[in-house]
Amino acid sequence: MRHFDDGSRAPRGRRDGGFWFLHGRPAEVPDAAQPDPASLVQEREDAAQLWRTFRKRLTPLEQQVLLCRLGGCSYAQTAHHLGIDRKAVDNAVQRLRRKLPATR
């Protein structure tokens, strides 16, 4: 069993250096970051359906503003990128808030 700098031992069942020690033997930890393939397909289908809904409900300007804002752009950056006034961005955001359901 591995000893730490303070002389204590790694307890069984505790993660140590990328492994779990179970019954004195290391066992690899399953990678929780790897998503299930079925859930990936479902997420992609959901995203595609959501985008189709957005395309039906939103004007081209509102779509562009939404993408910029989701990408982290400020109102000023969005206005500069789209070549419109900051107030036009603000108006588009206000329309987006009315058209899209709140998810809080």
Give the tens place of pLDDT for each residue, 18-61: 444 445 555 555 566 677 888 888 999 998 998 888 888 899 99
Q: How far apart are CA 61 and CA 69, in angstroms?
A: 12
* Residue count of the chain: 104
* pTM greater than 0.75 (yes/no): no
Starting at the edge strand that comes first in sequence, how are the strands of the sheet with 15-16 ordered?
Answer: 15-16, 19-22, 25-28
**Closest Cα to residue 81, out of 68, 90, 95?**
68
Q: Which fold has domain 37-99?
A: Arc Repressor Mutant, subunit A (1.10.10)
Domain residue ranges in the chain: 37-99
Q: Which residues have CB under 8 Å from 79's CB, separation 6+?
A: 85, 86, 88, 89
